[in-house]
Chain A
Amino acid sequence: MPGADSFNARVDRLRRRFLARAVAVAAAPLPLLFTRSASAQDDTIVPAIREFTKGAAVRRGRVKLELPRLADNGNSVALKVSVSSPMTAADFVRGIHLFSEKNPRPVIARFFLGPQSGRAEVNTRIRLAGTQRVVAVAELSDGSFWSDVADVSVTLSACLDGT
């Protein structure tokens, strides 16, 4: 039956197209930090991180970013970031940069440290405009970049309600 044939052929074509796209999506070189599907917010955070690293590879690990899983108020969220480093003159952390996925400005803060810091750890309080991921990227004295990501659910967002 020509009708059935053309229908099967069409299904086949669609299936092939779907598979081809699925493979293409799976193989796409997503940024290392974002193993989840790319979201619209990545459009601001990824360029901000690239600008800092100047395109160098960012590896997961060595950095520990501690944020509450649930923040009742996005206007002030306690943040602790630490990097495992001996902090000697030969091997130390140059800087720790914090990036937000959803804030109007993706760069939250930059901290510059050195061997005189003794310990690569900074505590502060940040604003979060909504539930999002926060990324900490550390630059080490050997020029390598390490990162950690924290998910925060924010009940009351900063910035948005004009208060």
Chain B
Amino acid sequence: MMLSRIQMPLKARAGEVIEIRIAIQHPMETGYRQDEMGKSIPANVVNHLVCNYGGKEIFRAEMGTGIAANPYLAFFAVAGASGEVEFSWTDDKGETGEARVPLAVTA
């Protein structure tokens, strides 16, 4: 389980465009680094992040080694109905992480 920090409003009005920001703790190994023994460290990046809201995919990112360590993403979404905003991501080793934030939508 990887750590993450999500910043987004917990309350929004219907139709409002909200900003969602997520940062994940991950080294995003490029595969070009070596350990202290001179052995190369294999590439391992968070290659995939999906954001679902109300059971529907609203944002997806496919990333490579060109994304900085501890990947940070900020994107926007239209507040529809009250529900959970779910985040899930996977790295090259197959490790996954997920997070959920409830969003209360008022008319």
Contact = CB atoms under 8 A, between A and B. Distances in A.
Interface in A95-124: 98, 100, 103-105, 107-124
B74 A105 contact: no
Nearest to A117: B76
A153 interface: no
A124 B78 contact: no
Contacts, number: 101
Chain B interface category by residue count:
20 to 34
B65 A104 contact: yes
B19 to A, nearest CB: 8
Interface in B64-82: 64-69, 71-78, 80
B66 A122 contact: no
Given A111-B59, A118-B77, A104 B17 contact: no
Nearest to B32: A159
Interface in A71-117: 75-77, 98, 100, 103-105, 107-117
B93 interface: no
A119 B75 CA distance: 8
A123 B59 contact: no
Nearest to A114: B58
15 contacts: A103-B65, A109-B61, A112-B61, A112-B62, A113-B59, A114-B58, A116-B56, A116-B78, A117-B75, A117-B76, A118-B76, A122-B61, A122-B73, A124-B68, A124-B74
Interface of B: 17-18, 21, 30, 32-34, 53, 56, 58-69, 71-78, 80
Interface of A: 75-77, 98, 100, 103-105, 107-128, 158-160, 162-163
Give the top 9 A-B pairs by smallest Cβ distance, nearest first: A108-B66, A118-B17, A123-B74, A118-B78, A76-B68, A119-B76, A125-B68, A112-B60, A110-B62
